[in-house]
Amino acid sequence: MKKSHFRFSTLFLILLAGIFCLAVAGTVWAMVRLPVVAEKEFGPSSTALSETQRILYSARLFLAQDDLNAPETGIQPQSSFVIETGESAPSIANRLEKEGLIRSARTFLLYLVYSGKDTSIQAGEYRLGTEMDALEIALALQDATPEEVTFQILPGWRLEEIAESLPTSGLEITSKKFLRLANSLEVLGLSEDMSGLNSLEGFMFPDSYTFKRDILPEEFFREILDRFEAQITPELQDAFEQQGLTLQEAVILSSIVQREAMISEEQPMIASVFLNRLNAGMKLESDPTVQYALGYDEAGKTWWKNPLFLNDLKQVSPYNTYINEGLPPGPICSPGLSALQSVAYPAETPYYYFRATCDGSGQHTFSITFEEHLGKACP
């Protein structure tokens, strides 16, 4: 009887020892191998986690890894998902689950903490869709930089000013390449109406544009030129011809009107003065054409020197309308639609002169004779 009891005790101890060894082996495997396998599946763990936490999070992710797959709701178009400044990771995870973008907020949050991405989510607007799994969404939330950017060209900007806005626009087009293409017209495929141009000065239509960050320069120019051509309706073209102007001449005059008029309501009046002067064989004598000829003013840190001095009006340049008759050889800036329309449909006036009022309002006074014009000079 004693021998039987001894054998049973021995077998029990051996069994306990085996179980203990298996437990130790399992623990060793969990400590050594599980984090390694988890890293292959889910990427590296956060350096902020302790060794014990790495093992626990790795195990929990393995058990819930199906929840990291894309939702089984069918592919839906990407939609906007906005994260506000200061919003917590649990709040973001809950909203993602509520909107059907992830399967489980709890597992998504588990992955965020495991990977350390819970502390680096950026506020901003994202485009997310159900074709993305939880890991892809978590990665997307680390960068709020949109794939598309808004690029704006302001009325009255010359090519150099457009170029200066490119480095901070988010577009990959350099200022240097922009100016080279805009002034050489390489591979831009200009329409017949714009054939013969030496530069795109004046034809970069002022507007807001949405571009992909990596848009090719040729596509960038093409979209802007298409926007310009869309403004030139047959009716507007006919109106230019009624004024005795080709499209290119109309753009040149519109660019001068754009720079002269501080107030858009005055553009038809200013256009009428210049058309009256052209029809009478008078010089345009426009300050902005001299500013364009002078180029960048180092003292004022501007492309439009102001004020001009008498010596400036003697600047030798085909753009200087104080010493040359008729229109300059090209536009001096990008005119907006209202400036183009003012040249097509100018006010009917007897005026040949205008000058800025003395109150700093940006308005102008208009005169028929030079004597009247001199009489309105500021004291």
- 180/96 same-domain check: no
- 141/193 same-domain check: no
Structure tokens at 52: 């014990």
Q: What is the pTM of this model?
A: 0.70
Q: Work out the burial of residue 72: count CB atoms within 10 Å of its CB; fewer than 13 is exposed, 13-18 middle, 19 or more buried.
A: exposed
Structurally, the chain folds into a number of domains equal to: 3
With b meaning 16 or more CB within 10 Å and e meaning fewer, what string describes 189-212?
A: ebeeebeebeebbbbbbbbebebe
- 123/222 same-domain check: no
Is 358 contained in some domain? Answer: yes
Is 181 contained in some domain? Answer: yes
Mean of the per-residue pLDDT values of the chain: 88
Mean predicted confidence (pLDDT) in 346-364: 95
Mean predicted confidence (pLDDT) in 4-22: 52
Is 1 contained in some domain? Answer: no
* Among 185, 204, 231, residue at a domain's last position: 231
Round to whole Å and give the CA distance between 30 and 234: 77
Is 17 contained in some domain? Answer: no
pLDDT tens track for 294-327? 999 999 999 999 999 999 999 999 999 999 999 9
- 297/358 same-domain check: yes
Q: Which residue segment(s) compose the domain that 109 sits in?
A: 30-145
CA angle 155, 160, 163 (to 5 degrees): 90
- 97/219 same-domain check: no
Among the residue ranges 70-74, 99-103, 307-311, 349-353, the one predicted with the least confidence is 70-74
* Among 145, 176, 193, residue at a domain's last position: 145
Round to whole Å and give the CA distance between 11 and 65: 40
Q: Please name the residue that has the structure tokens 């544009």.
A: 209
Is 353 contained in some domain? Answer: yes
Is 248 contained in some domain? Answer: yes
Round to whole Å and give the CA distance between 31 and 303: 67
Is 19 contained in some domain? Answer: no
Residue 224's pLDDT band (cuts 50, 70, 90): very high
- 224/257 same-domain check: no
Kindly tell me if the per-residue pLDDT of 243 is higher than 90: yes
- 244/349 same-domain check: yes
- 273/327 same-domain check: yes
Among the residue ranges 42-51, 172-181, 293-302, 335-344, the one predicted with the least confidence is 42-51
Mean predicted confidence (pLDDT) in 274-301: 97
Which stretches within the chain are classed as H helix? 2-32, 34-42, 51-63, 89-98, 105-115, 134-140, 159-165, 175-184, 217-231, 234-242, 247-260, 267-279, 287-294, 337-344, 370-375
pLDDT tens track for 108-160? 999 999 999 999 998 888 888 888 999 999 999 998 777 788 999 999 999 99
- 195/326 same-domain check: no
Q: Which residues contact 24 (CB under 8 A, 6 or more apart)?
A: none
Kindly tell me if the per-residue pLDDT of 24 is higher than 60: no
Residue 90's pLDDT band (cuts 50, 70, 90): very high
pLDDT at residue 332, as a whole number: 98
Among the residue ranges 64-73, 222-231, 241-250, the one predicted with the least confidence is 64-73
Q: Which residues contact 92 (CB under 8 A, 6 or more apart)?
A: 83, 121, 141
pLDDT at residue 287, as a whole number: 97
Residue 99's pLDDT band (cuts 50, 70, 90): very high
Kindly tell me if the per-residue pLDDT of 263 is higher than 80: yes
* Among 180, 214, 231, residue at a domain's last position: 231
Distances, alpha carbon 105 to alpha carbons 68, 95, 131, 135, 216, in Å: 10, 8, 17, 12, 40
Q: Work out the burial of residue 102: count CB atoms within 10 Å of its CB; fewer than 13 is exposed, 13-18 middle, 19 or more buried.
A: buried
- 138/159 same-domain check: no
